[in-house]
Every structure is written in structure tokens, then in C-alpha cells.
Homo-oligomer: A and B are copies of this chain.
């Protein structure tokens, strides 16, 4: 089968023919239809410091996908051939302290597909049946293929208290834009979205943002909209140090900052004035809560009020991986996906 492979410890992916995965008794084989491309894939493509420290080539890249089940292992009872599915890409041990107390998303033994084992930028992928998530009939493969980053956004937004809240979303990449839409559907009073890129701001506006602002305007607009208190909740989706400082500055005292964006390196923080004297709560977001977040996603999609499809702006075949990566790096893209089959 075709697969985008990280072959060696250096930049780039290579599309090549590899054997189809052989499934274990508790796994299923899935024909991949759509696969989302993520910033993590860019790190692996570019072979940056994080990638060097984490990944061990060769392996098939990709962790966001949807497709059809074509084979099921002997022990599998909850999935059958022909099921239309997506999957949680974090494969956890299920038995540790974290898994056993509702925190599997931070299981210390997590293996991520496309990072720690073979991923989904390929014609087929093997997945443990417990990680498989069924798609409703009316959910497209496109939407199925981006459940992973949508889930990041749901996790980030819905672990804060959104109904009635004033919310600032710093960073309008695909996950930030999903979060804008989720907050509006969940009854946020006002959602202000901030980014440097006008294309992304336009998309955030289309997805429901009440106001879209350049970072330099954010303080004035937030204070005007909140009687000078600042917002109740900031969703920090950029990882940019100046945006993180702005998150701490523009959240109201006693408010909440959800941190999903990953800063590239250490940064100066004034804990006294930015965190402690403000009495705020900070929450670090990892993956998706398993499987509360997945149920929430399905519920939001069923309500008909959340539609992520406008966020998908670029589509490529597997053969055009370099172009897909370039689209993300341009900073102009919403969600980029592979049309695998």
C-alpha cells in the first residue's frame, strides 16, 4: 500500500510502497479515506528538536483520519467490517493511576499513532478496537478526518465554563477557529478572536466570532467589551509568548486560562503579577479527554449547530505531501487534509 514515511533522521517525508499492517486479535484494520495534516506533522517533516527527541524513524506519519473498517480481530466485539469510523490516536495502557481515574489523556505510557508507531498517512491503518469511534451516518469522512484537532478544541473550550462567559481566543489556526465556533454554540456571551493573519480572522468571523482583532488591538477591545474587567476565559491556542502574556493580562481576576498552544522554548513569566495576584487558574490541555470529549463532539455534531467544514481550506492527494506541508507553513490555511481514497 501507499504510505507517507518518515524514513530517516532528516527533513521530509517519502511516499513509498509498504506492506499492509497486520492486525492483532484486539485490533481492526481501517481503509483510510481522509486524513488531517497537523502542526505536529510539520515538526516531524522539518525534523526539528522536538522531533529529534521524540521520534524513531522509519515510521508512517499521520494521526488524524477517518475511513472504513475492512477487517476485525478475533477478540473484537464492538466494531464490525463496513463501519464508518475515526479514532483516538493516543493508545494508552488503560490500567495506570491516570487511566483508572478519568485521566487517560495524560497516561504516562501513551503511544501516539504517526509519532510513536505507524500512523494514518497511508491506505490502511491498524488500530486497537477500543480507540475506534463510530461516525453517525450523516457525518462526512471530511469531518470524521478532523475529529482529533476538533477534539483538542472541545477539550480546551468545554473544560472551562462557557455559557454566559466572555471569551478571548488567542490564535486562529484550525483548532482556535473550531474553539471559536464551539464557544458560540455553548452560549458564550461574547467571543473575541485574535490573530495576526487576516485570512484566519475572516474564517474565525465566519465561524461565529463576535469580534476579530489584531493582537495589538486586543487589549482595548477586550476591556471595552468587559467593563474593564477582562474576559472570564482565555483559550490560548497560539503558543506565541506575546499572546501568552496577553492571555494573563486580559483574563479577569479569578478567571481561567486554557493553554493549548505550545511555545517553542522557555519564556519569562512574572508569576507574581501575571498569575498569583490575579488569582487565576491555568489548565494545560493535552489531547482529548477519553472519551468525554468524543461524546461531546458527537453531541455537538448531532445538534446541527456546529459545522466544522468551512474550516477545511486545502485538500491534497497523498502524493502532494510537500504542498500540504507548505500550505500549513504559509500561515494562510485553515485545516489541510489528504484525500486518501
Interface residues of A (CB under 8 A from B): 78, 94-95, 97-98, 100-103, 105-106, 108, 130, 158, 162-166, 185-190, 227, 229, 239, 244, 252-254, 259-260, 262-272, 275-286, 290-292, 294-296, 299-300, 302-303, 305
Contacts and interface: CB of A to CB of B under 8 A. Distances in A.
A61 to B, nearest CB: 20
B299 A275 contact: no
Contacts of A292: 100-102
A190 B266 CA distance: 32
A153 to B, nearest CB: 13
Given A283-B281, A284-B280, A262 B272 contact: yes
A276 B260 contact: yes
Output the residue of A252, A292, A299, A305 with the most chain B CB within 10 A: A299
B189 A163 contact: no
A277 B100 CA distance: 19
Contacts of A78: 95
Contact of A253 (B106, B252, B267, B272): B106
Contacts of A253: 98, 103, 106, 108, 286
A251 to B, nearest CB: 11
A95 B158 CA distance: 22
B279 A105 contact: yes
Contact of A163 (B163, B263, B271): B163
B269 A267 contact: yes
A276 to B, nearest CB: 4
Contacts of A282: 275, 281-283
A164 B277 contact: no
A108 to B, nearest CB: 6
Given A97-B227, A163-B186, 8 more contacts: A101-B291, A164-B300, A189-B303, A260-B276, A265-B270, A268-B269, A281-B281, A281-B282
Nearest to A241: B271
Contacts of A267: 268-269, 271
Contacts of A263: 270-272
Contacts of A268: 266-269
Contacts of A166: 299
13 contacts: A100-B290, A162-B187, A163-B185, A163-B186, A165-B299, A187-B300, A187-B303, A190-B303, A244-B271, A267-B269, A268-B269, A271-B284, A277-B284
Nearest to A264: B272
B269 A266 contact: yes
Contacts of A266: 268-271
A130 B95 contact: yes
